[in-house]
Amino acid sequence: MANAPTYLASDVHLGPGGHEREARFLRWLDHAALNASQIVINGDLFDFWFEYRHSIPRGHTRVLGSRARIVDGGIPVTLMGGNHDWWGGSYLREEVGVEFHQDPVVLELSGHRTLLAHGDGLGRGDLGYRILRLILRGRATRWAFRWIHPDIGAGLARIVSRTEGRHPPGSAEDGRPSALRNWALDALARDPSLDLVTLGHSHFPELVEAEPGRYYLNSGDWLNHNSYAILAPGAPPALQVWTD
């Protein structure tokens, strides 16, 4: 499988919307496991994820089991924490077996030197969220949240999330796609060693060739677009739509 591509997706937001999206994503995972050298989920796989010391959020058992089975079968799975599931940790790494990141990271993905980041808090604007993110990810906040009963914590997260209906199909989401695109193009200009910058967060699939052989890629979402990307050795990135 050394020459097999990398399959990349983001913003699945498992949780709201019933089981249909989860079943569809599971079928994509099975397909990717048969065809990919590695699988990357670039943030917000879950609409809410917080690891307590001795408990984990209820639900998504089949997805967690599928990822563990894929990893056990020799296909690495990388998960980037997004603004909805940044609070992962040892359970995902040690029990499920994924490589879990909480900050932007440079990876080699099927021959593409890639800057992988979810995208929240990047680019111009979003100042209010940046301030909120510092608070939510702070050590004191995480310590205090662990003392809240998980049922109450999950309920609060659902109220704050409001994922359903927030991103209509084709929406530019108040300029976030253009802000992330400009940030990514600047990152490519600053670091000539990069072949690719890939983000999520905007829920807006996009592929831009900054210059020959160098690209900005946003993998879109599974709320409206069912989009994902394929990174093949020696080939440009390709955006795809999952149609079962």
Using the 8-state DSSP alphabet, how is residue 173 labeled?
Answer: G
Among 48, 45, 49, 50, which Cα is nearest to 28's? Answer: 45
CATH assignment of the domain containing 91: 3.60.21.10
Does residue 217 form part of some domain?
yes
Q: How many domains does the chain have?
A: 1
| From 135-139, 170-174, 188-192, the region with the lowest mean pLDDT | 170-174
From CA 239, how far away is CA 231, in angstroms rounded?
9
Say if CB 84 and CB 49 are below 8 A apart: yes
Does residue 1 form part of some domain?
no
pTM (predicted TM-score):
0.85
Does residue 38 form part of some domain?
yes
Does residue 229 form part of some domain?
yes
| From 92-96, 133-137, 174-178, the region with the lowest mean pLDDT | 133-137
From CA 202, how far away is CA 171, in angstroms rounded?
9
Does 75 score more than 50 pLDDT? yes
Does residue 41 form part of some domain?
yes
How many percent of the chain have pLDDT more than 70? 75
Task: Please give the C-alpha separations between residue 55 and each of 46, 95, 180, 194, in angstroms, as whole numbers.
Answer: 16, 12, 35, 39
∠84-87-91 over CA atoms, to 5°?
A: 120
Say if CB 25 and CB 14 are below 8 A apart: yes
pLDDT digits (tens, 9 = 90+) for 147-181: 666 656 565 556 565 565 555 544 545 578 999 99
Residue span of the structural domain in which 31 resides: 6-241
pLDDT digits (tens, 9 = 90+) for 3-60: 899 999 999 988 766 688 888 999 999 999 999 999 999 988 888 777 776 667 666 7
- Strand 238-241 with 196-199, pairing: unpaired
Highest mean pLDDT among 77-86, 146-155, 221-230: 221-230
